[in-house]
A and B are shown apart, each in its own frame.
Chain A
């Protein structure tokens, strides 16, 4: 194992010079550069918020991390493994909370929470107990048998949080899960999320376009330029939040000359 590999294995998440290009569907032989030599590391148990403007490649980075797409160049290592090539290795080790709740409409709240553990092959009795525990923890006691259409937006997102936590993953990936909720519900869920991640010692990477949300949910903030590369890295824990906010805002506002460049 090289020194670099050993370093990557020690980090929970390691992006090393990652490039991702997509073919442009409308123009032949032209490529759209979504991620441009992106490098960062996240330590085990760390909570990191990724912040950037719309279209800055946050979702592409997210899909690379989840192993749903393969990098064009560079390496993505999660817990020392390649999430794309070793897709199955991550079963039960990584869970995703999406922007919309993505609940299965034909499953009740408890059955939705059970989905991940069911796919892990956990016995019915055990998974029912785990799911009930998480629903209760997230204030959904009494709604176990409700179908998603009977739940409010906040309740549905709580179910999706419970679904992610139920598999007891080492890493939690969140893609703006509270952005569609009203301010009060969003705030409450952010607090609950932070508490749950800290209590359970999870590594969390939280993608958002809201500075307030990033300040609340990240011990460290990574600001992305377009195409995705690190424009600013700021440690929140113990720092002056107002100063960090100003720095983050300035980094986000900075015009990136290569924003719309086409890489041929």
Chain B
């Protein structure tokens, strides 16, 4: 059974060192540069007891989830399109490479020009910045499917649907989970940038507010909320991975 992450002593020492160094710096610098740790902690905890603040954090989480889900579905379809024929692979692969090369900020500008509402803009940016990674990772998992297992399954003369269910889907599950883990971090970074320009709520919007008030403690508190969300989501994925990949030997699973 997969257990929730338990930090090691070394991790706690390293993090504790940073906190200590920050607190020491707060004695020598003004609070708008290095606010004291208790002030950051107070702001951080305050977010969780204030309904409006929680709604802002929830909005960002929902945008990340919606963007990644949409991107995953599109990436899955593109990966299968590439896997089905060499010809479609030759068309789709360079397009995805091109999309992957466009910086997130360029997508922000394009989204602002193309879309009117905040949510469509953010959704578009999220999908545009993560769809290539989803497609490539799922396609790689599909391509690495064992020829031996394919022949063996084929020897039972399965229907196309059965072949997908019995062989292809279980083969690409590890690749899909890796794609989610990798894209979660990317999505968290991109959503904040997207919310900075044009959103009226969410963690990115809150960060903008803190910047305008020169409130470093508030900015750090909101950043920590985002980090906490990403860590929590990664733990959830790790739990799902532990359940779905229970068949793997322990060493292989944790690698």
Give, as a whole number of angstroms, the nearest-CB distance from B173 to chain A.
Answer: 8
Say yes or no: is A240 at the interface (Cβ < 8 Å to chain B): no
Say yes or no: is B4 at the interface (Cβ < 8 Å to chain A): no
Q: 1/0 contact trace for A103-139 toward B, CB 8 Å? A: 0111110000001101110000000000000000000
Q: Which of B146-169 contact A (CB under 8 A)?
A: 148-149, 151-159, 162, 166-167
Q: 1/0 contact trace for A69-104 toward B, CB 8 Å? A: 000000000000000000110111011101010101
Q: Are A102 and B154 in touch, CB under 8 angstroms?
A: no
Give bound CA distance, A100 to B157, whole Å: 19
Q: Are A119 and B155 in touch, CB under 8 angstroms?
A: no
Chain B residues within 8 Å of A147, by CB: 247
Give, as a whole number of angstroms, the nearest-CB distance from A205 to chain B.
Answer: 14
Q: Are A102 and B157 in touch, CB under 8 angstroms?
A: no
Q: Are A96 and B152 in touch, CB under 8 angstroms?
A: yes
Q: Are A68 and B154 in touch, CB under 8 angstroms?
A: yes
Chain A residues within 8 Å of B152, by CB: 96, 98, 102
The residue in chain B whose Cβ has the minimal distance to the Cβ of A102 is B152
The residue in chain B whose Cβ has the minimal distance to the Cβ of A120 is B156
Say yes or no: is B90 at the interface (Cβ < 8 Å to chain A): no
Give, as a whole number of angstroms, the nearest-CB distance from B131 to chain A.
Answer: 27
Chain A residues within 8 Å of B245, by CB: 106
Chain A residues within 8 Å of B103, by CB: none
Q: Are B156 and A106 in touch, CB under 8 angstroms?
A: no
Given contacts A100-B148, A102-B149, A106-B170, A119 and B247 within 8 Å (CB-CB):
no
Say yes or no: is B249 at the interface (Cβ < 8 Å to chain A): yes
Say yes or no: is B248 at the interface (Cβ < 8 Å to chain A): yes
Give, as a whole number of angstroms, the nearest-CB distance from B165 to chain A.
Answer: 9
Q: Are A119 and B148 in touch, CB under 8 angstroms?
A: no
By a beta-carbon cutoff of 8 Å, the part of chain B in contact with chain A is 148-149, 151-159, 162, 166-167, 170, 245, 247-249
If A115-B153, A147-B247 are given as contacts, then 15 extra A-B residue pairs at C-beta distance below 8 Å, sorted by A number, are A68-B154, A68-B155, A91-B157, A92-B157, A98-B148, A98-B151, A104-B170, A105-B248, A108-B247, A116-B156, A119-B153, A119-B156, A119-B158, A119-B162, A149-B248
